[in-house]
């Protein structure tokens, strides 16, 4: 059972269909692995349905239909993935059903780019303002110290990592923002596989990071 979950506001926005698809996909993937969040989303959806039934003749909020359609698209992807008759490969079993339909069943078929012990494959590239990636981090790798200019959501799918805020394992969601300055370290023994969604660039910190940031501005 995951120990770290999306915040209540994020689950509420997910249940109401208000999240952009990259973040909704990450939350849906966590929810598929977490019974507690499944129950909470069901409660929020029931509450929202009851409130909607109580409204009489009120106009829909701007963009409400678009949010509903985006929500339906994520749900349809989940149902399509669950309807498959062939069992997934070992790699496929690491990937929750809402995410599996975006990736296929062969992780090695993705366009991986590797540097310094970290491989990444870009996903959902048609959503401006968001960077969505599947990350594979070699066991024992220490990532550069960094902070965030916006929000970063990371869902652990295999292995784990540790930073100043805790130890994250399969199903856990790590959330970082400009107040977080950390240096994640992947666990020994197993490569770390995770889904990461950011809405703004990262910024390297520490002596080496500040020097590299300076060079990048030249």
Residue 3 is assigned to a structural domain of this protein: no
**In-domain check, residue 62:** yes
Strands of the sheet with 131-137, listed across from one edge: 113-115, 118-123, 131-137, 192-198, 152-158, 173-176
Number of domains making up the chain: 2
Domain identity same for 124 and 194: yes
Q: Do 120 and 91 fall into the same domain?
A: no
pTM above 0.85, yes or no: no
Q: Are residues 128 and 147 in the same domain?
A: yes
The predicted pLDDT at position 64 comes to: 47
pLDDT digits (tens, 9 = 90+) for 13-26: 999 999 999 999 99
Q: What integer pLDDT is reported at residue 215 of this predicted model?
A: 35
Regarding whether 117 and 185 lie in a shared domain, the answer is yes
Two tokens, residue 131: 């960077």
pLDDT at 58: 52
Q: How far from 133 is each of 68, 118, 198, CA to CA, in Å?
A: 25, 12, 9
DSSP assigned state of 188: S
Determine the pLDDT at residue 65. 44
How far is residue 126 from each of residues 62, 77, 89, measured CA to CA in Å? 22, 17, 28
Q: In this structure, are 180 and 121 located in the same domain?
A: yes
Q: Are residues 96 and 111 in the same domain?
A: no
Could you tell me the mean pLDDT of each successive run of 10 residues in the chain, 218 residues long? 95 94 97 96 83 54 48 44 48 84 84 93 94 96 92 96 95 95 95 96 72 40
User: What are the backbone dihedrals phi and psi of residue 99, each rounded to the nearest 5 degrees, phi first?
Assistant: -90, -30
Please give the Cα distance from 171 to 194 (Å, whole number).
9
Are residues 117 and 139 both part of a single domain? yes
What's the pLDDT at 49? 66
Which residue range(s) make up the domain with 155? 107-217
Do 49 and 111 belong to one domain? Answer: no
Q: Decide if 209 is inside a domain.
A: yes
CATH of the domain at 191: 2.60.120.10
């Amino acid at each position: 059972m995951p120990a770290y979950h999306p915040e209540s506001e994020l689950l509420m926005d997910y249940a109401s269909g208000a999240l952009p698809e990259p973040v909704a996909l990450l939350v849906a993937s966590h929810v598929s692995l977490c019974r507690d969040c499944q129950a909470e989303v069901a409660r929020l959806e029931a509450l929202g349905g009851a409130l909607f039934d109580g409204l009489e003749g009120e106009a829909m909020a701007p963009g409400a239909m678009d949010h509903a359609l985006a929500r339906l698209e994520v749900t349809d992807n989940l149902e399509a993935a669950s309807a498959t008759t062939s069992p997934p490969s070992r790699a496929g079993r690491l990937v929750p059903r809402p995410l599996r339909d975006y990736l296929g069943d062969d992780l090695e078929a993705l366009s991986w780019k590797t540097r310094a012990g970290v491989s990444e494959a870009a996903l959902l590239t048609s959503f401006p303002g968001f960077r969505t990636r599947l990350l594979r981090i070699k066991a024992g790798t220490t990532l550069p110290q960094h902070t965030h200019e916006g929000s970063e959501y990371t869902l652990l799918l295999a292995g784990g990592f540790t930073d100043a805020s805790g130890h994250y394992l399969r199903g856990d969601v790590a959330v970082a923002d400009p107040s977080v300055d950390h240096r994640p370290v992947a666990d020994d023994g197993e490569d770390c596989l995770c889904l990461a969604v950011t809405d703004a660039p990262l910024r390297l910190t520490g002596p080496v990071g500040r020097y590299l940031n300076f060079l990048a501005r030249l």
